[in-house]
């Protein structure tokens, strides 16, 4: 299935590039080439499916980029020109001319690293949130841990290796901390309580990386889960 995603994503990238043309490069009076407009630089984009119970097709600017995308799956990364993208999510196999399950206009900046997430709001409604991934440097031997709350759940606390490192995180917010590189036992707790609602899960936080943990799903439906993405800094 991951190979299928890669093929579809590659085809979408070629279609987007063909539609918008190559990045514009202006020639100066001496014949040299001026720096390209930053809006035409590429962005590194991943997609996370965090809506439980439904397999979907994902479209961007009218092009299908993911087919039969299952809950909890992370696609990409894909190199796309910076700009605006009309993202629509349909139930798998549905007619794309109909009403999507979710839709949103998303802007990605050239040179950035982004993750677009389809997920539930705190009240349980499907929504799309785009996050910019922090790729700034971390000290030697350290790793960045980013936690994103995209679940139908109240505010949460995050515990790493038995210690609370992030408190009172609400949907659809994120928080970051820095930890020694290594394996982290991560747990999601109802904010202000000792009630564990997801985890523990062992997460590998490599030195010089940004390890991103997503809490997704629904507390009410008892399917809250964790998804992990690793981005190099």
Which tokens belong to 135? Answer: 């790729």
Q: Answer with the one of 132, 158, 192 that is the final residue of a domain.
A: 132
- Single pTM value for the model: 0.80
For the segment 119-166, what is each residue's pLDDT rounded down to a tens digit? 999 999 999 999 999 999 999 999 999 999 999 999 999 999 999 999
Please indicate, yes or no, whether residues 121 and 146 belong to a single structural domain of this protein. Answer: no
For the segment 85-119, what is each residue's pLDDT rounded down to a tens digit? 999 999 999 999 999 999 999 999 999 999 999 99
Instruction: Supply the range of the domain harboring residue 158.
Output: 134-233
Please indicate, yes or no, whether residues 19 and 89 belong to a single structural domain of this protein. Answer: yes
Say yes or no to pLDDT of 26 above 80: no
Please indicate, yes or no, whether residues 58 and 165 belong to a single structural domain of this protein. Answer: no
Cβ neighbours for 35, distance < 8 A, ≥ 6 positions apart: none
Mean pLDDT of the chain: 85
CATH code of residue 195: 2.60.40
Please indicate, yes or no, whether residues 81 and 145 belong to a single structural domain of this protein. Answer: no
Grouping H, G, I as helix, E, B as strand and the rest as coil, residue 50 is: strand
């Amino acid at each position: 299935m991951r190979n299928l995603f890669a093929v579809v994503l590659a085809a979408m990238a070629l279609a987007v590039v063909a539609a918008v043309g190559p990045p514009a490069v202006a020639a100066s009076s001496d014949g040299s080439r001026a720096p390209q407009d930053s809006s035409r630089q590429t962005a590194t984009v991943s997609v996370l499916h965090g809506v439980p119970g439904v397999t979907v097709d994902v479209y961007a600017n009218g092009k299908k980029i993911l087919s039969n995308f299952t809950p909890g799956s992370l696609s990409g990364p894909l190199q796309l020109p910076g700009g605006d993208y009309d993202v629509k999510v349909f139930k798998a196999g549905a007619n794309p001319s109909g009403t999507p399950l979710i839709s949103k206009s998303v802007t990605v900046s050239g040179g950035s690293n982004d993750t677009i997430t389809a997920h539930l709001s705190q009240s349980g409604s499907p929504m799309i949130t785009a996050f910019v991934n922090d790729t700034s440097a971390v000290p030697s031997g350290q790793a960045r841990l980013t936690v994103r709350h995209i679940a139908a759940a109240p505010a949460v606390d995050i515990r790493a290796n038995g210690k609370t490192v992030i408190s009172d995180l609400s949907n659809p917010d994120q928080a970051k901390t820095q930890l020694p590189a290594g394996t982290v036992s991560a747990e999601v707790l109802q904010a202000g309580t000792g009630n564990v609602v997801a985890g523990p899960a062992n997460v590998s936080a490599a030195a010089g990386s940004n390890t991103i943990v997503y809490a997704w799903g629904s507390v009410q439906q008892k399917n809250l889960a964790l998804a992990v993405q690793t981005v190099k800094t």
